Structure formats: structure tokens, C-alpha cells
Structure 1
Amino acid sequence: MSVAVRAERLDAGGRATVGECPVWRAEEGALYWVDIPARRIVRLQIASARRTEWTFAEQVACFAFDAAGRVVAGMESGVFGVSLQEAGDARVVRLAAPEFPASGMRFNDGRCDRQGRFWAGTMVQDMSLASPAGALFRFDENGTLSAPVVEGLITQNGLAWSPDGRTMYLSDSHPQRRLVWAFDFDPDSGTPGAPRVLADLRHYAGRPDGAAVDADGCYWTCANDAGRLLRFTPQGKLDREIALPASKPSMCAFGGSDLSTLYATTIRPVMNATEDDGYVFALNAGVQGLPEPDYAGMLPVA
């Protein structure tokens, strides 16, 4: 069902090249996100429209907070602990690194499961190679990076968990895949079962990018290249579709005082970019979201 919703462009947040990983920080009334090629984390304090940015030596693709406000992040060479300073400075220490099976790889989409383990996937940055060298990793509360948990991914994306934490969602947004999978998930061991297809976006417009799960247990995916947000029920039925002004939405997250605002980051394409591409948008999707879990471990930030 297509729903007409006004999407507000957050001009104060600035314009990204590849905006990704929006994270609502309730304690600050602030939305955080990354601009991957700019190697930057951005914060926008919503009430004051104050913007702060932190720039790093490597590209930052995904991150999550711990209870103390420190950050665990998936970057180019591994998983890092980050302490963001108010002046725009940051202290960074590498915590773990996988053995990349190909050159030109980095982490991509990631977040914490309901138990506070940080998950992130890898990809070959040159998507034209269509290399299935990507994998999904688990960084647990003890600071241990797993072996690949899911392998054979081209462009890992769409990671999310059901409200009870017993279903894990994952997508591959490469044009040759365009699939969203659901996995039965053991919350005690942090182990997914066999995948089943939740949604095949070859039957819809766009490619499945970053995602969020709402309080009803429905899965929202950004339909990249189609300028749409799509909501699928746990049974895989498309029951809501919202158009955005930007053509390449990249990831969405719920925020605001009651988690009823849906924020969406977007990508500014190299060719034929519109005036809206690259900005963050806010809208009322008519449903509440879930709090983003904190990372449960201790981050040894220098």
C-alpha cells in the first residue's frame, strides 16, 4: 500500500556523499550517521540543529554505542573502539580484524543484536566486480571477533532483529542479488539458522539497502535507486510503501522522543544527482520503532 507522507529534509545535517547508519541517541536528543567516503561520523542535535562531525583515518561504515556513550565501529581494516570528544576530536583503537579474502574490502552495514553483540558485514568496495567475498561477523561482549557467520555475500546490508530477538534479517543489495533473508536466531548463542527469503526485490523497484524493524515486528528496507521505503510483514508481505524526494535512500532508523520519527540517510550519486540526494530525511511513518541496543561489552578506548 502506497502511503503519502511528507518527508522533511534536514538541511542542518549537511549533505553527504554516502550517508549511512543513522543511529538515534535518546540521551542527547541527537541523530548520528556516517558519510563513508568522507571518513566521517556526523551528529545533529535535533532541537538546536547543532551539527558536529568527527573525521577518521579510515572510512567508517557502521557503528553502535555502548552504555557509556563510546562507540564500536566497523571501518576499513577492522572493528574499532572510538571515544568521540565534544570538540570534534576522537580517540581510536583497533579491537579486532578479520582476514579479508580479497583486496579492496571494508566493513559495510552493522548494528547490535538484542543481547548487545555487535554484528557487521564486509564487502569488496568495487561493486562492478560482483565478488561474493563478503561475510557477516559477530563481535561479542567479550571483544572476540567470530569467524564468518554468513558467507558468500556481494554487498552485505539490511541487518536487523525482530523485537523478541529470535529472527535475524540480512540482505544483499547488489544488483545481481536484491534479496532479503530471514534467519531463525538463537539469542543465547548468537547463532542464526538456515536462511529463507523474506523479500525478493527483483519483484519490486530498487535494491534492498539498510533497514530497521518497528515495534510491530515489520521490516523496513530502503529501496535504493527507487526512492522508496518499503515495509514488509514478518510473513514477507509488502504492506506499506513511502516515496522519498531522494532517489537513493541507504538506511533508516527510528528516533525522536517516542521513537515515532523515521529517519533515512541517502546517497548522492556521481551522475545525475538531484538537489535532495545526500541529505537526511525525517518523516512520520505511522508506527513506533524500537530502542537501538547498546553494545554490551567493555570498549578499551585509548
Structure 2
Amino acid sequence: MHDVTARDPKLLVQLKAHRNTVPVPRHWCFKRKYLQGKRGIEKPPFDLPDFIKKTGIMEMRAALQEKEDQRTLKAKMRERARPKLGKIDIDYQKLHDAFFKWQTKPRMSIHGDLYYEGKEFEIRLKKKKPGDLSEELRTALGMPVGPNANKVPPPWLIAMQRYGPPPSYPNLKIPGLNAPIPDGCSFGYHAGGWGKPPVDETGRPLYGDVFGIQGQDYQSVPEEEEVDRTIWGELESESEEESEEEEEDETGLVTPAEGLITPSGITSIPAGMETPEIIELRKRKIESEMEGSETPGVA
């Protein structure tokens, strides 16, 4: 809402749209000071990561602390004057596995994701999927929990059959609405029944394959002809290329290996110009052949 009152809104929008820009923290316009709203909230104690808990350090420290509490004041003062080391010894293999085998990365924020008050109390919905009911939610709704829990319909199925599927998830498959119900279940309003399937006047399903008929039709369709998946782009070796002297292209013209012939029939090498077999690069020998006599030496 502050963009419309900016001095140069177009420049501000351009800066915001630029790549890798980080927004200004939202508490810049708050009357209350930063993090003053968290005063009085009990801070949860630090919790060790799971890979460190596997080493058993918490149980060892708890046992040592219980033993320390049972000591007398005189023994505590003696321990303070002459402390003993090595009370908590963990196997080196356990420590190695904890930090090099089972260690997990902590959750880190992405670039430009700034912290604000109450961010840690927000529910993370990235791991949640629509349609998957957790055991806690099933218990809260009074639904059974176990291997056959999917055979009991959710309480909102009747309303969905009456008013339609949720518009936010058009591709979500909901049994009893646009997908077939599990095996051994039946439609009806009795205990454990899956309501009434949504159909039109002619008996066709409104939202999807609620009777599981389309899947059978798809299975009965014969498979298409197999696709040739053999490798066709292999390169020929140099020996094979040398042995093939002539290659015939798509137009039917034969291309000899020695010279290139254009489609018009004119060779690329002009007449009378033949390449000699041996080229002599010595200057003295060439001059002697031209003059007919050896070049005299300089006195």
C-alpha cells in the first residue's frame, strides 16, 4: 500500500522487479520497536538435533546429574577442588557416525526471506498435501485409524457430493466424488456409507469417473505398435570411412572420394592443374633444374 504514495512509483516498481532484490523489513513503519511484541512469551528450551540424540548423550548427562544431586556438600567441595575428567565417554565410532553419517542440514531460509515477528509460529504447509489425512486429524474427526482407515469416508464427502469439488484443487481425486470408492465399500447413508454419487438426469457422473468404468475401457484399448528404440546415431570408425570410396547421396549423384563434383557437372579443380605426387621445396635444386647447370659458389 506504500507504493502508490511513493515519489517515483515507476522507479520503485522497477527496483522491486529487479533480480535478487531483498525487500525492506516490514517493521520499518511499525510504532512498536522491533521484537517488542514477543515480550512475556515463554521461550521454548533448546532442543538437540536428532542425530546428536542418537549418541545417547542426554541419558548419560541425566544419569550424571542424578548422581551429582545425591552427593553431600563435602564431596561437592572436594570435587570442585580436585575435579575428575572423562566422566562422560562416548564411543568414537558413535560420534563419527553422528556427524559424518546421520547429520542433517538445519532448515535455512531462502534468499530474500526476511524474519518477522511470529514467523516461527506459522504452520508450514509445504509438506502437507490435499486429501492426505494425518492420524491426529482422523482422531479429532472421530475417524478410525489403522490399515483399513481409508474405507471410512470423511465427514465432508456428503457436502462435496451436493455442492461439487473444491475449486482450488481441480485435479484432486476424491473417492466417491470424481474417483471410485475403495473395494468392499458401498454407496448409501448408513454407517460407513459413501453417500450418493453425483450424477445427472441420465445417470452419467458429473465430476469424474466415480463408478470406475473409464479405467476398464482404457485397459481394453489395444496397445500401439512398438517403437524402435535401437541406437541409430553411432559414428563410423575411420577405417570404414577410408574403405568407402564413393557415397551416393539422396539425389542419386555419385560423389568420388578424390575430388568434389558439383551437381552442375563442373569440377572444383580447374583443367590442367594437377597435384604433383612429390613436392620439392629445396631452392637450390629447383634453380639448377631451371637453368640446367649448378649454381656456382661465391668466391
Q: How would you bin the TM-score normalised by the shorter chain?
A: under 0.3
Report which of the two has the higher share of helix. 2
Q: Which of structures 1 and 2 has the larger relative contact order (alpha carbons within 8 angstroms, sep 6+)?
A: 1
What TM-score, normalized to structure 1? 0.16
Q: Tell me which structure has the larger Cα radius of gyration.
A: 2
What TM-score, normalized to structure 2? 0.16
